[in-house]
A and B are shown apart, each in its own frame.
Chain A
Amino acid sequence: MVSQEMNRILDDAGKHGWVMEPEAKRLFSLAGMDIPRFCWARKAEEAVGFAEKAGYPVVGKIVSPRVVHKTEVKGVAVGLDSPGKIEEAFLRFSRVEGFAGMLVEETLSGLELIVGARVDLQFGPVVLLGIGGTGVEIYKDAALRMAPLEERDVKSMVQGLKARRLLEGYRGKEPVHMGELTRLLLTFSSLVMEIHPRIESIDLNPVFAAASRVSVGDARIMLKK
């Protein structure tokens, strides 16, 4: 399942110790996971060009090997609905340390989940599903399983979340597409089983879970030192 191209992404990121969002997303996309349409723009014009094609509004995010947590440097701009706003965000990001371009992507919505993996000393690769977003470490609402996952594990992980009713369609909202969520987690789990000797942990946060699709909003792979 892990293609040469996927291995190359991991090889190239070795010097930074982690795989930045555009490359991580390309890797997960190659593995068959749902990734929003995006472009890694090195110039403001490229970003605008992408938005013209994909449709406004778009999301802009800083790409820098020095920035692991983008929100902490105000490196995420949402609701960019004009060329002017895109150029403004690009200019602002370009002043941040290690600036290597801007990731522009279609705007997604849905319940913000976290899907993650870690290689545990005693149990090897484990997979996590929880309530995501920037408050992830405040809610601490997550379920863990030893990989590889089976379908029944996904079901019981959802059942194990305090916020499971948010996934089941709370107060008139449509429920999250369980088939897509299951597919994403199972694909992720098999990928993790293959690349775990090379990784320390993976965060997919947020994963946007909606009624029609479950898509990876942000991705980061921390490589084994």
Chain B
Amino acid sequence: MDLKPMFKPRTMAVIGVSLTNERHPANVIYNKNNLRQQVEVFAVNEKGGVYQGEQVYRVISEIPKKMDLAVIATRAETVPDMMADCIRAGAGGAVVISGGFAEVGKKDLQESLVSMARKAGFPFIGPNCVGVYSPPSVDTLFIPGERIVRPGPGKVALVSQSGGILVDHLIRFWDEGVGLSMAVSIGNKALIREMDLLNYFASDPDTEVISFYVEGFGENEGRDFVLAAARCPKPVIVLKSGKTAGGSRAVSSHTASLAGDYEVFSAVLSQYGLVEARDESEMISACEALSCYRKPIEGRLAIITGSGGHGAQAMDACISRGLTAPPFSDAVREELGKQVSEKIQGIASFGNPVDLTGSAVDDDFVQVARYLSKREEVDCLLLLLLPYLPGVTSDLGARLSMTYRQERKPMVAYVPHVEKYNMLIEGFQLNGLPVARSIGEAVQMAESLRRFQRW
């Protein structure tokens, strides 16, 4: 099934627009797309009439154009008829917002949609979902336009079973300055499931990183999913909820007791080089780091800092996440000494971490980063930058980004996130390098680069 028409639609019918209830989800969706998105929108209601000065069509087939996407937001029991209309009218696909299906025990009603859609080769998302956020084409999240927080355009595709979590993630993405290519909530995932979206985003040129919020897979579905993800050249990040087993289950063997559902989930993800995010923060930082670099690392870090305390904290975080900061040989230390300005030569330390001290200037950081970028024994640089040091200027982010462009060794920076340091932060971000808000987050970003593996 081709999902592209419904994900990048030029025309859309909103079925269920109310002439009396402005807060109806269908109205919210009609209005926000009419005002803010590029898609051409048509209202459908069996009673017909006029809404916002535009004609309301009685059925989708009355619309004189072919619809790429239909949003169905009518009562559950009417949805099969609406979908049949969509199929007859040759629509490209549907988002079924309506709830009242398998989640309330009405499996047969849901199954009737699936069998109809399968027979017709008609893709639909949902039911019981908030649908698709695909700017600038379309946005079916039924949240009024003025209330939604919109992340900028970017390379991360977000797939979530839960609509609430999806909207929450949009807020976090915006807050962290991570851009999105598209977001989809799949709700009851009756027809279109994680696997279909993995395949779609694997070949979507706008997407570089694919991120999933998963509650659980069906029988053997997890196996197919990880095998497909391992073949996908783009990093796949998974955040799983329901890690704790609900209630106790009788276990008759040691293996069954040691290999609980979540233990298996986590082990299999890492076996196939998928990136497991253990919580929401890890997911956001993994998305940020992996949208900057797609080259897997082993996790041998060079830590460059202007403060010994920061270096020591970073070291602790590295060890606890299974990363290393290999000690440098005498020859390397000596070379590092030659890279920096004379006034810090006697006070800086050139082991790993490299502590350039509070007297360091921009040039010292750039020279050391350049030298260590050429060394084989490290595969990632961790830069702990303190914008309040007298010799550090707001240029440093852009200058280190330039070093990355020349040397191509991944860098992750930590810069305290307050407004007055924004220019330093943007020096990295505008050049596509990841910047963390804390030392811990910077190390976490490096760890996510290591978790992404392809064999």
Contacts and interface: CB of A to CB of B under 8 A. Distances in A.
Interface in A119-163: 120-124, 126, 128, 130, 132, 136-137, 140, 142-146, 152-153, 156
B271 A128 contact: no
A143 B267 CA distance: 8
A103 interface: no
A122 B253 contact: no
B219 interface: yes
B254 A137 contact: yes
Nearest to A68: B252
A25 B455 CA distance: 35
A222 B253 contact: yes
B220 interface: yes
A122 B258 contact: no
Interface of B is mostly: helix
A205 B253 CA distance: 10
Given A121-B219, A145-B267, A146-B226, A137 B257 contact: yes
Contact of A144 (B220, B221, B268): B268
A201 B255 contact: yes
Interface string A205-225: 100000000000000101000
B263 interface: yes
B254 A205 contact: yes
A145 B259 CA distance: 10
Interface string B212-240: 00001111111100100000000000000
A116 B261 contact: no
A120 B261 contact: yes
B258 A128 contact: yes
A146 B268 contact: yes
B264 interface: yes
B259 A118 contact: yes
Interface residues of B, number: 26
Interface string B182-218: 0000000000000000000000000000000000111
A116 to B, nearest CB: 3
Contacts of B252: 18, 68, 200-201, 222
B300 to A, nearest CB: 16
Contacts of A222: 252-253, 256
Contact of B254 (A126, A144, A156, A203): A203
Given A203-B253, A220-B253, A123 B258 contact: no
Contacts of A20: none
B265 interface: yes
Contacts of A200: 252-253, 256
A203 B255 contact: yes
A181 interface: no
A118 B223 contact: no
Task: Assign chain A's interface to a size class.
Answer: 20 to 34
B255 A117 contact: yes
A202 interface: yes
A10 interface: no
Contacts of A202: 253, 255
B268 A126 contact: yes
Most buried by B among A117, A128, A136, A200: A128
Nearest to B251: A201
B218, B223, B264, B455: which has the most chain A beta carbons within 10 Å?
Answer: B264
B271 A146 contact: yes
Contacts of A220: 253
Nearest to A146: B268
A114 interface: yes
A144 B258 CA distance: 9
Nearest to B220: A124
A118 B256 contact: yes
Contacts of A142: 258-259
Nearest to B271: A145
Contacts of B256: 118, 200-201, 222
B223 A128 contact: no
A136 B254 contact: yes
A123 B264 contact: yes
Contacts of B264: 118, 120, 122-123, 126, 144, 146
A123 B268 CA distance: 8
Contacts of A132: 254
Interface string B263-289: 111011001100000000000000000
A66 B263 CA distance: 30
A146 B402 CA distance: 42
Contacts of A68: 252
Contacts of B218: 122
Nearest to A205: B254
**Which of B222, B255, B264, B265 counts the most chain A CB atoms within 10 A?**
B255
Nearest to B263: A144
A122 B259 contact: no
A144 B259 contact: yes
Contacts of A118: 253, 255-256, 259, 264
B255 A122 contact: no
B438 to A, nearest CB: 28
Contact of B255 (A114, A123, A145): A114
Interface string A25-38: 00000000000000
Contacts of B268: 123, 126, 144-146
A141 to B, nearest CB: 9
10 contacts: A114-B255, A116-B255, A121-B220, A122-B223, A122-B264, A124-B220, A136-B254, A136-B258, A201-B255, A202-B253
List 10 tightest A-B contacts by C-beta distance, closest first. Answer: A116-B255, A122-B222, A144-B267, A201-B253, A122-B217, A123-B222, A146-B268, A201-B256, A142-B258, A124-B223
Interface of B: 216-223, 226, 252-259, 261, 263-265, 267-268, 271-272, 455
Given A116-B253, A202-B253, A222-B252, 17 more contacts: A114-B258, A121-B220, A122-B217, A122-B218, A122-B265, A123-B223, A123-B226, A123-B264, A126-B264, A136-B258, A142-B258, A144-B258, A145-B268, A145-B271, A156-B271, A203-B255, A222-B256
